[in-house]
């Protein structure tokens, strides 16, 4: 199956990709403006394949599941899943939505893609240093958020055990204070069931769904200056993945990389310090470089604000509200995701992420089939 044909059934059209939707609208003008209608579940609708019949949501030929015709294609045996989760104050509902969608997503992954050896890591969109603080104390102890950094201030103020730790034995390291760190605590400071010294899950993780619920419940006391792309790039950087790095062992050369970004804010560097440095094309180059220049090795899924797109589910011109509704339009993040051959944009305002993930599995499966491991 032709790569362009498959990818076009799922990705939003860009100015460089001419697609037609089932509504019979002017696809050329829509492609140029980025205004491709989304369905009510936050995914792209069925799209006509150039030179062929209409293809609906993931309507792949049942005989081959979208796999390449070349039987010699190496395919992949491993996949590294990186969830980049906004941990600012308006993200409680979106985190709950993600957690609810995960069991079905990973079950479909297990049943569909060739890779059965996978790593899963969740990272927040800040460095932990500018986080908010929520503390409740009784006579003997305090519980605070976000863990574990909050205990520094809590111990200074109250000098009581914090989140189950004595103030002279807080489990705070340099790795709790950098972008791209794998999350190991839930929103109320409980340590997730990960082996000591490892910040990601493996396929054989006991209670995989329960552990993901813990790490993805990342809390809402993080910085309001979200930098999801910086968190992504740092999470796959050599310093964090190399020997002694905070995420040591997560990123593997012989695995495809699947990045899932969930945020209700734009990654905006218009104000100094409030966004990832650089432009979307530079972000793209850096992420591809982390996979040694292999564009087949990267899948990027973005659940972001889409109020600027025709048919978007988020209110046009709106921003995120503390009640969990709405999202800021995110053209820079959309541009970043759409630069990838295997890039799919969905709406963070969707009430259920399951349809989006169900479609995205097809993209992941295709990427896995055409991937040729390094060496």
* Domain termination site, one of 114, 149, 169: 169
Q: What is the DSSP string of 27-63?
A: HHHHHHHT--PBPTTSSB--EEPTTS-EE-TT---TT
Is residue 163 located within the same domain as residue 286? no
| Residue 173 predicted with pLDDT over 70 | yes
| Residue 238 predicted with pLDDT over 60 | yes
What mean pLDDT is predicted for residues 68-90?
A: 78
Q: Is residue 107 part of a domain?
A: yes
Q: Domain total for the chain?
A: 2
| Residue 256 predicted with pLDDT over 60 | yes
Is residue 146 located within the same domain as residue 229? no
Q: Is residue 375 part of a domain?
A: no
Is residue 196 located within the same domain as residue 319? yes
Q: Is residue 36 part of a domain?
A: no
Select from 29, 24, 129 the least CA-distant residue to 87: 129
Is residue 220 located within the same domain as residue 335? yes
Residue 312, domain CATH:
3.40.50.410
Torsion angle of the four alpha carbons 31, 41, 356, 269, in this order, in degrees rounded to the nearest 10: 60
320-343 per-position pLDDT tens digit: 876 667 899 999 999 999 999 999
DSSP state of 160: S
Residue 34 · residue 14 · CB < 8 Å: yes
Q: Is residue 279 part of a domain?
A: yes
pLDDT value at residue 7 = 35
Please write down the long-range contacts of 65-68, taking CB distance under 8 Å and 24 or more positions apart.
65/112, 65/365, 66/1, 66/6, 66/362, 66/365, 66/366, 66/369, 67/1, 67/365, 67/366, 67/369, 68/1, 68/369, 68/370
Residue 18 φ/ψ, nearest 5 degrees: -85, 125
Name the E strands within 166-226.
Answer: 201-202
Is residue 221 located within the same domain as residue 303? yes
Q: Is residue 220 part of a domain?
A: yes
Name the E strands within the chain.
Answer: 20-21, 47-48, 54-55, 78-85, 117-124, 134-137, 141-145, 161-162, 201-202, 256-262, 298-304, 343-347
Q: Is residue 20 part of a domain?
A: no
Is residue 189 located within the same domain as residue 262? yes
Q: Is residue 109 part of a domain?
A: yes
Is residue 110 located within the same domain as residue 188? yes
Query: Could you list the residue range(s) of the whole structural domain that residue 279 is in?
Result: 76-127+180-370
| Averaged pLDDT of the chain | 81
Is residue 162 located within the same domain as residue 249? no
| Residue 56 predicted with pLDDT over 50 | no
d(CA 14, CA 360): 18
Is residue 356 located within the same domain as residue 255? yes
Helix or strand (DSSP H, E) at 109: helix 92-112
pLDDT value at residue 308 = 94
* Domain termination site, one of 169, 194, 227: 169
pLDDT-based confidence at residue 274 (cuts at 50, 70, 90): confident
pLDDT value at residue 187 = 87
What mean pLDDT is predicted for residues 78-83?
A: 98
What mean pLDDT is predicted for residues 85-93?
A: 92
Q: Is residue 42 part of a domain?
A: no
Residue 236 · residue 287 · CB < 8 Å: yes
Is residue 255 located within the same domain as residue 301? yes
Is residue 120 located within the same domain as residue 157? no
Is residue 144 located within the same domain as residue 279? no
């Amino acid at each position: 199956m032709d790569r362009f044909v498959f990818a076009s059934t799922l990705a939003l059209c860009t100015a460089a990709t001419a697609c037609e939707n089932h509504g019979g609208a002017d696809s050329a003008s829509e492609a140029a403006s980025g205004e491709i209608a989304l369905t009510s579940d936050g995914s792209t609708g069925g799209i006509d394949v150039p030179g062929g019949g209409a293809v609906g949501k993931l309507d792949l030929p049942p005989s081959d599941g979208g796999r390449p015709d070349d039987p010699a294609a190496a395919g992949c045996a491993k996949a590294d899943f990186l969830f980049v989760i906004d941990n600012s104050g308006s993200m409680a509902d979106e985190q709950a939505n993600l957690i609810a969608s995960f069991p079905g997503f990973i079950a479909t992954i297990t049943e569909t893609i060739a890779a059965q050896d996978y790593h899963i890591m969740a990272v927040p969109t800040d460095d932990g240093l500018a986080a908010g603080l929520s503390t409740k104390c009784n006579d003997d102890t305090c519980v605070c958020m976000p863990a574990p950094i909050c205990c520094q201030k809590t111990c200074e103020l109250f000098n009581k055990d914090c989140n189950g730790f004595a103030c002279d034995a807080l489990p705070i390291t340099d790795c709790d204070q950098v972008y791209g760190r794998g999350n190991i605590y839930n929103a109320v400071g409980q340590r997730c069931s990960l082996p000591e010294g490892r910040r990601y899950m493996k396929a054989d993780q006991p209670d995989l769904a329960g552990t993901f619920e813990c790490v993805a419940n990342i809390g809402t006391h993080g910085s309001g200056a979200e930098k999801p792309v910086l968190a992504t790039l740092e999470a796959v950087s050599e310093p964090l993945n190399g020997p002694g790095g905070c995420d040591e062992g997560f990123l593997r050369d012989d695995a495809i990389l699947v990045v899932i970004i969930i945020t209700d804010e734009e990654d905006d560097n218009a104000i100094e310090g409030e966004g990832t440095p650089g432009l979307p094309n530079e972000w793209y180059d850096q992420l591809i470089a982390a996979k040694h220049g292999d564009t087949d090795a990267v899948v990027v899924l973005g659940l972001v604000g889409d109020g600027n797109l025709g048919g978007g589910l988020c209110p046009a011109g709106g921003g995120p509200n503390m009640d969990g509704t709405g999202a800021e339009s995110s053209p820079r993040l959309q541009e970043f995701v759409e630069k990838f051959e295997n890039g799919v944009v969905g709406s963070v305002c969707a009430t259920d992420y399951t349809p989006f993930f169900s479609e995205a599995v097809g993209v992941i499966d295709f990427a896995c089939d055409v991937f040729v491991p390094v060496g």
